[in-house]
Structures are given as structure tokens and as C-alpha cells.
């Protein structure tokens, strides 16, 4: 009986050590909208508010966050934050975009066009995923024929985002 009890204890200790290893491999650094947060803060963000999630690993994450980032950094970007970020980026790349955004106060009437298609779903996610170095042009359409080509309605502003 002692042998059986001893084997059970060893098995349980081994299982406990395995569970500890798995927990040690978990990401310990969480960043939401460029601000480091506790992991529990992520639970307060609804799926419909998420533009992008990235797990970053490597030397640069460790240099930035220390050894606790050895298993990676969990980055989450919300849709409102993504929208502010790409509005700023596109404004810097296109004076016409900046002027239209300034005039209207938001991009709610903008229709973004990539690869000859108007983005209709998850546009914050799609635009947030574009790397700035990959953008070759941001162009605001002003020609009525071009607006019609993309099926835009009166009052909508076409914004063509060209990438490499």
C-alpha cells in the first residue's frame, strides 16, 4: 500500500510540476491601446470593440519590457484607438485627407477603398493592420465619375489606400 501511495504522490507531483511549467509559459505582459495593463483588463473589452490582437515575441520585447516578456507581449488595439491611429497616419500622408477630416470632424462618411474594393466590414481591423511602410498613396476621390465607379452615394467620401 505504501508503494502505491508513493507512486500516486510522485505522479501528482509530476502533474503539478507540468501545470506549473504551462503557467510559467503564459504571456505576462498585456498592452491595450499602447498602455500596459493587468491581464484582467482585457476581460472588460467586448469582442466587437477589438480591432487587432498581436502576440509579439523576441529580443525587442524583452529589451522593452524586461525578462517578464520572455514568453511574449499581448497587444490589443481597440477600434476607437485604431481609428485615431490610422486617421493620424493618413492625415500625415495626404493633405486632402487631413482637410476632409478637419472639415467633417470624423471619418464616418469616408468609404475606404483598397485593391479596387470598398471596405464594408471590419474596416478598423483592416486599416489598422496596414504597416505604414507599405502604404504608397492615400488619395481622396473628388471626381464624380470615380465616386460612381465605386458605388458611393452623395455625401460619401472615397478614400483610396494603395499599398505595395
pTM of the model: 0.77
Asked if the model's pLDDT at residue 131 lies above 50, the reply is: yes
CB 111 within 8 A of CB 118: yes
Identify the CA nearest to 41 among candidates 32, 50, 33: 32
Distance separating the N- and C-terminal Cα atoms of the chain = 71
H/E stretch holding 54 reads: strand 50-56
Rounded to whole angstroms, the Cα distance separating 146 from 158 reads 9
pLDDT tens column, 45-100: 999 999 999 999 999 999 999 999 999 999 999 999 999 999 999 999 999 999 99
Q: Match 478637419 to its residue by C-alpha cell.
A: 102
CA distances from 32 to 19, 29, 76, 87, 105 (A): 28, 10, 5, 19, 25
Phi-psi region of 66 (alpha: psi -120 to 50; beta: other; left: phi over 0): left
CB 138 within 8 A of CB 94: yes
CA distances from 122 to 15, 71, 128 (A): 42, 29, 10
Within 25-119, residue ranges assigned H as helices are: 59-65, 79-93, 95-104
pLDDT-based confidence at residue 27 (cuts at 50, 70, 90): confident
pLDDT-based confidence at residue 3 (cuts at 50, 70, 90): very low
pLDDT tens column, 133-149: 999 999 999 889 999 99
CB 112 within 8 A of CB 119: yes
Three-class secondary structure of residue 78 per DSSP: strand
Amino acid at each position: 500500500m505504501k508503494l502505491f501511495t508513493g507512486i500516486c504522490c510522485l505522479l501528482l507531483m509530476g502533474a503539478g510540476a507540468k501545470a506549473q511549467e504551462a503557467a510559467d509559459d503564459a504571456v505576462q505582459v498585456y498592452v491595450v491601446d499602447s498602455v500596459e495593463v493587468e491581464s484582467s483588463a482585457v476581460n472588460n473589452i467586448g469582442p466587437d470593440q477589438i480591432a487587432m490582437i498581436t502576440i509579439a515575441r523576441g529580443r525587442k520585447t524583452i529589451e522593452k519590457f524586461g525578462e517578464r516578456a520572455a514568453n511574449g507581449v499581448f497587444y490589443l488595439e481597440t477600434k476607437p484607438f485604431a481609428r485615431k491611429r490610422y486617421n493620424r497616419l493618413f492625415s500625415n500622408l495626404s493633405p486632402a485627407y487631413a482637410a476632409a477630416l478637419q472639415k467633417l470632424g470624423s471619418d464616418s462618411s469616408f468609404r475606404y477603398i483598397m485593391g479596387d474594393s470598398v471596405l464594408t466590414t471590419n474596416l478598423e481591423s483592416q486599416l489598422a493592420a496596414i504597416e505604414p511602410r507599405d502604404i504608397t498613396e492615400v488619395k481622396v476621390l473628388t471626381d464624380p465619375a470615380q465616386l460612381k465607379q465605386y458605388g458611393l452615394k452623395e455625401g460619401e467620401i472615397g478614400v483610396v489606400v494603395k499599398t505595395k
